[in-house]
Chain A
Amino acid sequence: MKIDRETADRYVAVHSEELTRLCFCLCGNVADAEDLFQETWCKAFKNFDKYDVSKPFDKWLFAICVNTYKNSVKHWYNSRRFCFSTDEEQTLFLNSIPDSSGYSSVDYLELHKIICSLPKNHRVVIILKYFKDYTIEEIAQMLSLPVGTIKSRLYSAKKTIRRRFSQYEF
């Protein structure tokens, strides 16, 4: 099933904002996030015939996004940075944290650095979990992994974050 222009535009209009957010969460900087965004849409439209229309499009799209990201950081020739590449990006990040969160934006900056330093598989799971509050089962389905694996990764990731955040606080 080849996707027509009008349908493609409609999907782009509906899902671009969320996809941008996911790309930012995964990459941590604008340049890589935009690359990932473009590649994800390209792959989604190229493989549209594999999309099962009875299932939510966003999860299928996000699964492509995550897999593209994971493949891209696998090889040395895609040397990428996870944290901000300019001060402006860091300021944008700090401004994106709501004032009512109870923690200072500097705390969130530290959290961001800790998440960036997590192993790739842990980082992806923790981002998917808190990006849209997906359940363990939904994440497992998106990543084509057993539920036990996701639980284990989530547990390890949170444990690492807590430990490192404690070191930062004290």
Chain B
Amino acid sequence: MNSEKRRSIDEMLKVYGSRKAPYTFRFKGEEKVMTTKRRFRPALAVSCIACLLVCAVLGVGIFAGDLFLPSESKGAVISVSAAQGEDVAVGTQRTALCRENAPLIRLSKAPSELYEDGFTAMSYSSLGFKISGEDIVSYDIKSQKGTLEYVDFKAYEEHKVNGADTEYLYFDSSFENMKPFDESDPYRFVIGWWPEFDRFNSDLRDFTGGVDRNTKNPTEEQMLSMGQAYDSLLKTAEDFTSYFGDTVTVTLHYSDGTTEVLNIEITLDENGYAYGEYEKVNEDVVVYG
């Protein structure tokens, strides 16, 4: 890159940064801000139509006979969302869950990502599970290694709109008796998943002689050392799945009294992109009291 080109990019950035906004927004007052609700309204209509279509397809499939392979779930629709991504339906085939905006980041290529609140060894967004199905009454969900988060949309919207202090996130390794996801339900919730970082950070600490991702105000040398150590670790491990991979077990309770257990395997490739697929573990008849 010659100096002329370097200068021209700088000038372009100055013009880009100093351009005027096409118009100025007006503050609507604290009590009138309904940003999330407004944005969700058109999405709600589209989602409702999509849900109806899915239900119709499932209904026709069941009516026509055994549409699905024996190993597939009989009625569940499981989709996963990543930050800045779209919903991805998880099936029995390995499916990419994260798009390019949500991979793990190799630190030597982006040393500046090292810390934000102390050292942060990687950037990773949570995945959200939306579990629905025509005949599903409820489901239980459990993560073997990671952490699950329960996101209460109603409380979240209230928090966003008027800054209410209502809690909208709850963390645990399992949740039971969950209602199936329904986009039109104002009290809907979604289960999110975060990978477990402890083992990775423990190994990282060994590599870096005690400097870990929680170290505050590291020196530049420590930052560099951390980045190199991270990459060494990646080279040695070369397997994100062994660190962050997880099995999320979903037990589906159907209206006819049967249950179905699905193991959703979350794996990561060499670039840190997440994949998901499920395997049906068993199907039992359960008589409800």
Tell me if B206 counts as interface (CB < 8 A to partner A). no
- A81 vs B83: C-alpha distance in the bound complex, in angstroms? 10
In contact, B30 and A97 (Cβ under 8 angstroms): no
Tell me if A79 counts as interface (CB < 8 A to partner B). yes
B-side contacts of A31, CB under 8 Å: 39
B-side contacts of A165, CB under 8 Å: 9
In contact, A42 and B162 (Cβ under 8 angstroms): yes
A-side contacts of B10, CB under 8 Å: 158
Chain B nearest CB: distance from A76 CB in Å? 4
Tell me if A35 counts as interface (CB < 8 A to partner B). yes
Provide the main secondary structure of the chain A interface: helix
In contact, A39 and B126 (Cβ under 8 angstroms): no
Tell me if A129 counts as interface (CB < 8 A to partner B). yes
- A82 vs B15: C-alpha distance in the bound complex, in angstroms? 19
Chain B nearest CB: distance from A44 CB in Å? 10
In contact, A111 and B12 (Cβ under 8 angstroms): yes
Tell me if B14 counts as interface (CB < 8 A to partner A). yes
Chain B nearest CB: distance from A12 CB in Å? 5
Interface size, chain B (Cβ < 8 Å)? 60
B-side contacts of A34, CB under 8 Å: 25, 35
Tell me if A112 counts as interface (CB < 8 A to partner B). yes
- A77 vs B22: C-alpha distance in the bound complex, in angstroms? 28
- A145 vs B216: C-alpha distance in the bound complex, in angstroms? 11
A-side contacts of B116, CB under 8 Å: 121, 145
Contact with A along B234-274 (1 / 0, CB 8 A): 00000000000000000000000000000000000000000
In contact, A77 and B156 (Cβ under 8 angstroms): yes
A-side contacts of B12, CB under 8 Å: 101, 103, 107-108, 111
A: interface residue count bin: 35 or more
- A31 vs B37: C-alpha distance in the bound complex, in angstroms? 12
Supply 11 A–B pairs (Cβ within 8 Å), ascending by A: A38-B28, A41-B30, A76-B128, A77-B156, A78-B83, A79-B84, A97-B15, A107-B12, A126-B13, A145-B116, A156-B111
Binding site for B on A (CB under 8 A): 12, 16-17, 19-21, 23-25, 31, 33-35, 37-39, 41-43, 45-46, 73-82, 92-93, 95-98, 101-103, 107-108, 111-112, 115, 117, 119-122, 126-127, 129-133, 145-146, 148-149, 152-153, 155-156, 158, 161-162, 165-166
Binding site for A on B (CB under 8 A): 1, 5-6, 8-28, 30, 33, 35-36, 39, 81-86, 100, 105, 110-116, 123, 125-128, 151, 153, 156, 160, 162-163, 190, 192, 217, 220, 223
